[in-house]
Amino acid sequence: MKKKKIVVFSGAGMSAESGIKTFRDSGGLWEEFKIEEVATFDAWLKNPALVLDFYNQRRKQVMEAKPNKAHELVAELQKTHDVQVITQNIDDLHERAGSKKVLHLHGEIMKSQSTVNSHLIYPLKHWEIKLGDTCEKGAQLRPYIVWFGEAVPEMDKAIELTEEADVFITIGTSLNVYPAANLIHVVQNHVPKYLIDPNEFNLDYIKNLTVIKATAVEGMKVLSKQLHELVYP
Ligand code: APR
């Protein structure tokens, strides 16, 4: 039997139980930092040292963090399903948990990018990018992050993958940031959809949506059992 395609769309809440702060919860990162000072191209032009420091701190935290049980349960789904993760997260915890197909919409903290050629992307082994660190063309390196106001190069690919989903699971995103938040609207009406998040959502207009009001770990424990029965009745 052909494996069913599960698309998992994750946000910051996916990694919350690994100790990585979300952005918009109380105590979240955007309470501590101003987006326009650390996460836009203008911020980079005005104060690259501050922007580098902000992302260096994020990288340090990610390197110290471990995948949680929810990342592991998502990876385990691969045993029986064709699983595509589409994540807004810049961490590599899905990959470290064993997920093979992971599309990052907002970049990857463990990579740097040339400031003269966006196709020049390099893996990072250390936590720090410093002023003076350069690409092979001699230009300053920046974090490989999609900042606010920048295009989301992987969005078309994400839409294509989402249109093919037999099951769509959203985990730990406030669905506040576009275009990523549009993905849930791209899923076909008849496709079963699940949303795992401790927060309240008003998404009654979305067809075939089951809301599991729980953390990523608790929600995935419940859902991974259900999924097997749904896909292989
Ligand atoms: N398990 C699951 N969900 C959780 C948990 C948890 N343990 N803790 C919090 N959440 C939920 C919150 O209820 C909220 O709905 O995670 C969501 C986090 O929302 P945001 O902080 O807005 O994060 P996200 O949706 O991923 O943000 C999107 O915004 O700042 C940018 O580029 C950044 O990719 C990010 C984008």
Instruction: Decide: pTM greater than 0.75.
Output: yes
Q: What percent of the chain has pLDDT over 90?
A: 94
Under the banding of pLDDT at 50, 70 and 90, the label for residue 230 is low
> Is 71 known to be catalytic?
no
Q: Where are the domains of the chain?
A: 1-20+68-106+152-233, 21-64+112-145
- Whether residue 80 contacts residue 3, with contact meaning beta carbons closer than 8 Å, is answered with yes
Topology agreement, domain 1-20+68-106+152-233 and domain 21-64+112-145: no
CA distance 84 to 7: 5
Cα angle vertex 1, ends 163, 70, to 5°?
60
CATH architecture, domain defined by 1-20+68-106+152-233: 3-Layer(aba) Sandwich (3.40)
Q: What are phi and psi of 211, to 5 degrees?
A: -95, 125
Q: What's the chain's average pLDDT? A: 96
Q: Which residue lies with its CA nearest to atom 21 of ligand 1?
A: 23
CA distance 189 to 191: 6
Among 3.30.390.10, 3.40.1400.10, 3.40.50.720, 3.30.1600.10, name the CATH number for the domain at 21-64+112-145. Answer: 3.30.1600.10
Check pocket membership of 11 for ligand 1, CB cut-off 6 A.
yes
pLDDT of residue 225: 86
The string of pLDDT tens digits covering residues 190-222 is 999 999 999 999 999 999 999 999 999 999 999
Check pocket membership of 199 for ligand 1, CB cut-off 6 A.
yes
The string of pLDDT tens digits covering residues 160-193 is 999 999 999 999 999 999 999 999 999 999 999 9
Residue 233 clears pLDDT 60, i.e. is over it: no
**Which atom of ligand 1 has the smallest separation from the CA of 196?**
2
- Whether residue 172 contacts residue 183, with contact meaning beta carbons closer than 8 Å, is answered with no
